[in-house]
Amino acid sequence: MAEPRASGQDGPVSDQGSLAVETRDLWFSFSGGGPVLRGVDLDAARGQVTVVLGASGSGKTTLLKLLKGLLAPQRGSIRVLGRTTSPGGRGIRLDAAVAYIPQNLGLVRNLTVLENTLTGALGRMGALPALLMAFPPEWIKEATGFLERLGIAHKLEEKVYNLSGGERQRVAIARALMQRPQLLLADEFVSQLDPVTTVSIMDSVRETVVTGLTVIMTTHELDVVARYADHVAVLRDGQKVLDLPAAEVNPRLLSQVIKV
Amino acid sequence: MNRSSLGARLAPLLLVGLLAVSLANVGLLDPQRLGRGVMNIGVFTSAMFPPNLGVLETVALAILETLQIAFVGTVVGAALGLPLALLATQTLFGPWLTGGVRLVLAIVRTIPALLWGIIFVVALGLGPGAGSLGVGLYSLGYLGKLFYEIFEGVDAEVLEAVRSVGCSRVQLARFALLPEAANNLLAQLLFMFEYNVRASSIMGFVGAGGIGYYMLGYIQLLRYDALLTSILVTLVVVIAIDYGSARLRRLYLPETRRLS
């Protein structure tokens, strides 16, 4: 049996409130397995970078998929940008205001850098122009602008399968930004990159947060927390075991909490 | 001795017995008949040489028609098979629609190309038009199945990432499924064309155009030297097509290029 999936959403997206994300007593298990998330409460303030830390299998990816609406919770509630998802309720999967970058980025290898970036705008495009790949010139300009800011505009026409890991990461960010999102969910975002590329990519993300974007990212890189996080939550075996402003945590405490 | 070990000892004897009965029924245990067959083959083979080059022009025109039947048939099969394959893809549509389309494709696939040729000769009259449609319908059944299996093999994370920008199924097919599957689609299309050249060469046996019409005529008129000319021309064309497809694969399929 497939795991439960969300399929719609109750109510419109709202700009009200200081929290972009609120989850309460969130439980989730895949069919035939034990609980992956066990009663998670999480708040993410608007315009901040919240980093969710945890070892492999702690439930980080599942949490992000629930926030995106790709999965539906079995118990508890999720409120994203003012819209609530409850067990058995309708989800938020197709909401372009919430951008989601999966662990392996989910780029289309046979499309170019520009085409991949433009797919971020599909949610506001009609079927026929999309079939003909007839993107309005202003969208192409917007996409090119993002790619310039991310330092990859020189590979605009390059197929994605020819790019390095860091370059692909930049394309995934550009695609997410083309959605004009209010919330960006990024899974294991910089975990496969070298330290120099990590700094460069995270600087770009931090820049976009200045414009009001809320970011929730999962990682197991403790260095990212110190430099870029506003808030930190730690998951262990599906439970939240730490939830503090980034200024109040240090790497020793974090590694202790994650490993214990 | 228990029942299972007795069964294991008797199984080879049973198999040999079944083979003997089958050989007798198909007339292959009749030494007189077999001896006559060997002599006939000798006469047939010696009558084939030297090949009759006087029919070369007729045969060349006929093989050109065969190629056109194969080409039109492959294009018709792909043009109809591609949308049907998308409708049969379970990652895009629900089980009722995909199940229904798969059933149609299975029925179309059950009927051999030659039988489709006869059906279209009855419907449209003698000639290559009937052969093209016969090959086209047969290709539709096969390409439809091969294509939906390719679509279902596309990385689920890519589909999830593109779907989550808020796009429709049509857009998902255009921007994720088709580009991700393009290399495999092309490989199957080339294979189908190669296969169809062979299938089209016997369409003339039922009056559906191409070199088969002449081959059958040469056999009936005992013109074995002319038959050899048509077989040799077909062989040269098939080898040329195989070579051309291999070149196209290297040109358009990066995986093939890397391995070569």
pLDDT band of residue A1 (cuts 50, 70, 90) is very low
Class of domain A1-97+181-260: alpha beta
Question: How many contacts (CB atoms, under 8 Å) link A and B?
Answer: 85
Residue with tokens 């998802």: A85
With CB atoms and an 8 Å threshold, state whether A122 touches B166.
yes
- Exposed (0-12), middle (13-18) or buried (19+): which is A246, by Cβ within 10 Å? middle
Domain boundaries, given as residue ranges, for chain A:
1-97+181-260, 107-179
Best residue in A3, A9, A110, A159 to probe B by mutation, most B CBs within 10 Å? A110
The pLDDT value recorded for residue A14 is 44
Cβ-defined contact of B254 to A161 (cutoff 8 Å):
yes
Contacting residues of A for B174, CB less than 8 Å apart: 130-131, 133
pLDDT digits (tens, 9 = 90+) for B134-193: 999 999 999 999 999 999 999 999 999 999 898 889 999 999 999 999 989 999 999 999
Q: How far apart, in whole angstroms, are the C-alpha atoms of residue B243 and residue B163?
A: 40
Q: Which of A98, A105, A108 best tests the B interface by mutation, with the highest count of B CBs <10 A?
A: A108
Contact (CB, 8 A) for A232 and A222: no
What pLDDT, on the 0 to 100 scale, is given for residue A203? 84
Residue A214: strand, helix, or coil: strand
Q: Which residues of A touch B162 (CB under 8 A)?
A: 106, 108, 119, 122
Cβ of A122 within 8 Å of Cβ of B158? The answer is no
Q: Is the model's pLDDT at B58 over the cut of 50?
A: yes
pLDDT at A127 over 60: yes
- pLDDT reading at A102 higher than 60: yes
pLDDT of A26 > 90? The answer is: yes
Of all residues in chain B, the one with the smallest CA distance to A106 is B158
Average pLDDT, chain B: 91
Kindly report, residue by residue over B216-235, the tens digit of the pLDDT. Answer: 999 999 999 999 999 999 99
Q: A193-249 pLDDT, tens per residue?
A: 778 878 888 888 887 777 788 999 998 778 888 888 999 999 999 999 989 898 888
Give the mean model confidence (pLDDT) for residues A2-8.
Answer: 41
CB contact under 8 A, A119 and B157: no
Return mean pLDDT, chain A. Answer: 84
A8 CB within 8 Å of a chain B CB? no
pLDDT band at A88 (very low <50, low <70, confident <90, very high): low
Residue spans per domain, chain B: 59-259
Q: Which residues have C-beta within 8 Å of that of residue B192, sequence separation ≥ 6?
A: B74, B77, B78, B139, B142, B143, B146
CA distances from B72 to A37, B68, B151 (A): 56, 6, 24
B167 lies within 8 A of chain A by CB: yes
CA B17/CA A259 separation, integer angstroms: 69
CATH code of the domain occupying B59-259: 1.10.3720.10
- Contact status, residue A66 vs residue A25, Cβ threshold 8 Å: no
Question: What does the DSSP assignment read for B152-201?
Answer: HTS-HHHHHHHHTTT--HHHHIIIIIHHHHHHHHHHHHHHHHHHHHHHHT
What pLDDT digit, counting tens, does each position of B228-257 carry? 999 999 999 999 998 998 888 888 765 544
What's the pLDDT score for residue B1? 60
C-alpha–C-alpha distance, residues B134 and B206, integer Å: 11
Q: In what order do the strands lie in the sheet with A75-80?
A: A35-45, A19-29, A75-80, A83-85
Smallest Cβ distance to A119: which of B170, B175, B183? B175
Q: Among residues of chain B, what percentage have pLDDT more than 70? A: 97
pLDDT in tens, A61-79: 999 999 998 888 889 989 9
What's the pLDDT score for residue A227?
A: 83
Which residue has better confidence, A226 or B108? B108
Alpha-carbon A259 to chain mean position: 24
